[in-house]
A = this chain, B = another copy of it.
Amino acid sequence: MAVSVRDVAAAASVSVGTVSNVLNRPDKVSPATVERVHAAIQELGFVRNDAARQLRAGRSRSIGLVVLDVRNPFFTDVARGAEDRAAEDGMTILLGNSDENADREGSYLDLFEEQRVRGVLITPLTDDLPRLERLQGRGTPVVLVDREAADRRFSSVAVDDVVGGELAVRHLAEVGRRRIAFVGGPMAIRQVTDRLEGARRAVAATPGMTIEVVETESLTVLAGRAAGAGIRERVASDRPDAIFAANDLLAMGVLQALMMQGTVRVPEDIALIGYDDIDFASAAVVPLSSIRQPAALIGYTAVDLLLKEAGEAEDGGRERERVIFQPELVVRGSTVADSASSPP
- Can you report 11 residue pairs joining A to B where beta carbons are below 8 Å apart? A2-B139, A45-B134, A45-B138, A47-B114, A47-B138, A51-B55, A51-B60, A221-B280, A221-B283, A252-B283, A259-B285
A158 CB within 8 Å of chain B: no
Determine the chain B residues whose CB is within 8 A of the CB of A279 once the complex forms. Answer: 71, 221-222
A50 CB within 8 Å of chain B: yes
How distant is the Cα of A55 from the Cα of B256 in the complex, in angstroms? 52
Chain copies in the assembled complex: 2
How distant is the Cα of A108 from the Cα of B74 in the complex, in angstroms? 23
| Chain B nearest Cβ from A335, distance in angstroms | 16
A115 CB within 8 Å of chain B: yes
* In the complex, per-residue mask of A231-247: 1 if CB is within 8 Å of any chain B CB, else 0: 00000000000000000
A120 CB within 8 Å of chain B: no
Q: Which of B55, B113, B253 contacts A283 (CB 8 A)?
A: B253
User: Which chain A residues numbered 213 to 231 have a C-beta less than 8 Å away from chain B?
Assistant: 221-222, 225
User: Which chain A residues numbered 92 to 115 have a C-beta less than 8 Å away from chain B?
Assistant: 92, 94-95, 97, 111, 113-115
- Other than the given A50-B115, A51-B116, A71-B279, 14 more pairs (CB < 8 A) read A47-B113, A47-B114, A49-B116, A50-B116, A55-B55, A71-B73, A80-B97, A221-B279, A221-B280, A253-B283, A256-B285, A256-B287, A260-B341, A284-B284
